[in-house]
Amino acid sequence: MRSAYKHLWLGAMLGVASTLLFAAASHPPEMPRYRFVNYTTANGLPNDHVYAVLVDGRRVWAGTDDGLAEYENNKWRTYTTRDGLAQQAVLSLALDSRTGDVWVGTMGGLNHISGGSIIETYTQLNSGLSNNIVYGVSVQGDNVWVATAAGACRLNLNTRQWSLYNDRNTPMREIWAYGVSAQPDKVYFAVWGSGLLEYNQETRAWDVYEDPDHETEMVLFKNQGLIHDVVSSVSYVDGIVWASTYFGDSRYDGRYWHNFLTKDSGLPSNFTNYVKGMDANHAWFCTDKGLAYYDGKNWAVYTPSLTTRKPEMLVRDAEGNLTHVPVTTAPANNYILGIDFQGRDIWVATAGGLSHGILQP
C-alpha cells in the first residue's frame, strides 16, 4: 500500500514539475514592445532608402538617397543640393550636443548645419577632408571626427585645422573607414578589412584590434578577439566597444571580448550594418533580416516576416528558448541601416522607409 501511495506521490510531483517547466517556457522575459509608425515617400520622406537617422530632442533627421529630411511638429522639410547639400545621398549624421548643430556626411562631402541652414561644405578639394565619401561622423568637444572611403580625419573647430589618418600614420592596412565613435578618452574607427582602430586622446597613441583568424568566415577562435576584420560600424559607450561586421558582432570591455553569431545568440543574421550601444549591457543591432535588441541576457527581434511580410516579434531568452510575440506593426523593411533613441522610443532607418517605434505599456 505504501508503495502505491509512493508512486502516486512521485507521479503528482513529476506532473507539477512538468507544469512548472511548461509555464516557465511559455512566459518569455519581458522585452520592449513597440507600435511602429512608418514614413515613406507617400507621407513626406524624399526617398524610401534611409541610410541614417539622428534624434535631436523633438526633431528627427533622416539621411536618404535623395536628400536630408527633417521632421518636426508633424512636418517634413527636405534639404537638397539646391540648399547647399554636398550630394543628394546622405550616409551619416552627427549632433554637436553643445550647439545643436548637425554634421552631415554625404557621397560628395561633409556639410555643417546650424540654425536650420547649411553654413559650410567641406570637400577634398576645398579642405583637409580625406575623401568626399563620408561614411561616418562623430562630434566630441571641439573636434569633428570623420570616417571616409580614403581614411579618417579630424577637424578642430577652434583652430580650423585638419588632421589626416591613414595607412601612413596609423596601423590601418586598408583605408576604407566605415564608422567612428568618439568619447573624451578614446576614439574608435571601424575599418573595412583592418578591424578596429583605437586612438587614445591623452597619449595620442594608436592601437588595432583584428580578427585572430584574419578574416576567415569560419570563427576559429571564439571570444578571443574581434569576430571579423570587415567592420561596418562601431559604438563606444560607458567604456564598452560594440562592433558590427558582416560576419557577426563583438563586444569589448577593454579586457575581454564577447562575440555574437546567429547560431548562439538572438541575432537574426550575422550580416550587421550598424550597431548602437545604449550602455554597457544594452545594444541594438541593425541587420539585413531585422532589428535586434540585446539586454545583456535576452534578445528581441522586430521585423516584417521574411516569408509572409507580416509584422513579427521574436524573443529569445538566455537559455535559448524562442517565443513569437503577437504584434500588429513592424519596421518599414527588414533591411535595417540605423537607429537612434528619443526618450523610450526608437527611430529606425531602413531600406524601405523611416520607422518610429513608440514604446507600448
pLDDT confidence of 215, banded at 50, 70, 90? Answer: low
pLDDT at 117: 96
Cβ atoms of 33 and 300 within 8 Å: the answer is: no
pLDDT confidence of 96, banded at 50, 70, 90? Answer: very high
> With helix as H, strand as E and coil as C, how does the chain read?
CHHHHHHHHHHHHHHHHHHHHHHHHCCCCCCCCEEEEEECHHHCCCCCCEEEEEEECCEEEEEECCEEEEEECCEEEEECHHHCCCCCCEEEEEECCCCCCEEEEECCEEEEEECCEEEEEECCCCCCCCCCCEEEEEEECCEEEEEEECEEEEEECCCCCEEEECCCCCCCCCCCEEEEEECCCEEEEEEECCEEEEEECCCCCEEEECCCCCCCCCCCCCCCCCCCCEEEEEEEECCEEEEEEECEEEEECCCCEEEECHHHCCCCCCCEEEEEECCCCCEEEEECCEEEEECCCCEEEEEECCCCCCEEEEEECCCCCEEEECCCCCCCCCCEEEEEEECCEEEEEECCEEEEEEECC
pLDDT confidence of 14, banded at 50, 70, 90? Answer: very low
Q: Is the pLDDT of residue 6 over 60?
A: no
As a CATH number, domain 31-359 is: 2.130.10.10
For the chain, give the percent of residues with pLDDT over 90.
89
For the chain, give the percent of residues with pLDDT over 70.
92
Lowest model confidence (mean pLDDT) among 62-71, 213-222, 351-360: 213-222
Q: Is the pLDDT of residue 217 over 90?
A: no
Give mean pLDDT, residues 250-277. Answer: 97
Q: What is the mean pLDDT of the chain?
A: 92
- pLDDT tens digits along 284-314: 999 999 999 999 999 999 999 999 999 999 9
Give mean pLDDT, residues 153-165. Answer: 98
Cell of 57: 530632442
Domain borders along the chain are 1-30, 31-359
Lowest model confidence (mean pLDDT) among 20-24, 72-76, 175-179, 196-200: 20-24
Give mean pLDDT, residues 196-208. Answer: 97
Cell of 286: 541593425
Give mean pLDDT, residues 35-64. Answer: 97
Give mean pLDDT, residues 313-329. Answer: 97
pLDDT at 253: 97
Q: Is the pLDDT of residue 2 over 80?
A: no
2 or 324: which carries more pLDDT confidence? 324
300 or 26: which carries more pLDDT confidence? 300
- pLDDT tens digits along 236-248: 999 999 999 999 9
pLDDT at 9: 34
CA 186-191-192 angle, to 5 degrees, is: 165
Distances (CA, A) of 103 to 113, 145, 178: 6, 10, 16
Q: Is the pLDDT of residue 134 over 60?
A: yes
pLDDT at 26: 56
